[in-house]
Amino acid sequence: MKRRLLLVSNSTLHGSGYLDHCQGNISHFFGRDVKRVLFVPYALHDRDAYTKTARDKFSSYEVDGIHEAPDPVAAVREAEGIFIGGGNTFRLLKSLYDNKVLTEIRKRVLEDGVPYMGSSAGTNVATVSINTTNDMPIVCPPCFSALSLVPFNINPHFLDPDPHSRHMGESREQRITQYHEEPDTPSVLGLREGSLLLVEGNKATLLGTTRARLFTRGKPTVDYDPGSDLSFLLTH
């Protein structure tokens, strides 16, 4: 399988600029063969402004906004690299369905080996479903099934409970546990801010500076350090 994915937990790490914390990973990931990157700004309302942000950051590549293309499916068909940015995951997934690009993105990534980078919401939609997003459901997509570029789910911006909080909303861990009360639910990798997952074919490696927590239905959670080989997640 030619699959190449860079799945980033968060676009911005506290105290640094947009995607600064994984700049080196991004350059290495797209490499020198990719000249143009197709940017998907569907997760934010102002697609032009968002594409400008991406252009400013990806200054060594030509960045095409998918919303600028007369035919978004054709734009995916011609893409050398794909980057789906963060924002609201429901809005993003609905727009992917509205523009009928899910099948083509999946085909390009899994069959043609086009490198796919996702950040936050863009990481959520790369997985089985958006059932483990943290976002507010501001719009309703036709269903929660996503690109399934990997056979598990991710919870980006994974957050440990704050022992000093007096807020009584469910912790992130409680929410994911509730997800696993439902039948046939896949494993969920909680990517803390600062974490990213690199997938190359059937090899998955945790990168970044923070640990990731794996939730598997009916089993205790396990934390993994940066550098861990998580390839076993790809065979489930």
3 state DSSP class of 104: helix
Q: Which is nearer to a second copy, 11 or 115 (CB)?
A: 11
Are the CB atoms for 37 and 223 separated by under 8 Å?
no
Give the nearer residue to a second copy in terms of CB position, either 64 or 193.
Answer: 193
Does 166 contact a second copy by CB under 8 A?
yes
Residue 169 engages a second copy in binding (rule: CB under 8 A)? yes
Distance CA 50, CA 141 (A): 21
* Residue 163 binding a second copy, by CB under 8 A: no
The sign one gets for the Cα dihedral 177, 182, 186, 192 is negative
191 binds a second copy per the rule CB under 8 A:
no
Which residue in the set 2, 45, 100, 107 belongs to the binding site for a second copy (CB under 8 A)? 45
Residue 69's SS3 state is coil
From the list 9, 95, 119, 120, the catalytic residue is: 120
**Which one among 2, 136, 161, 202 touches a second copy, defined by CB under 8 A?**
136
Q: Identify the residue among 123, 131, 187, 195 touching a second copy (CB under 8 A).
A: 131
Q: Does 99 bind a second copy (CB under 8 A)?
A: no
Tokens 């089985």 belong to 128
The pair of three-digit structure tokens given for residue 55, joined into one six-digit string: 């252009």
Strand pairing partners for 36? 62
Distance (Å, whole) CA 97 – CA 101? 7
Separation CA 87–CA 157 (nearest Å): 12
Which residues in this chain contact a second copy in the complex, by CB under 8 A?
Answer: 10-15, 45, 87-88, 90-91, 130-140, 143-144, 157, 159, 166-170, 175-176, 178-179, 181-182, 185, 193
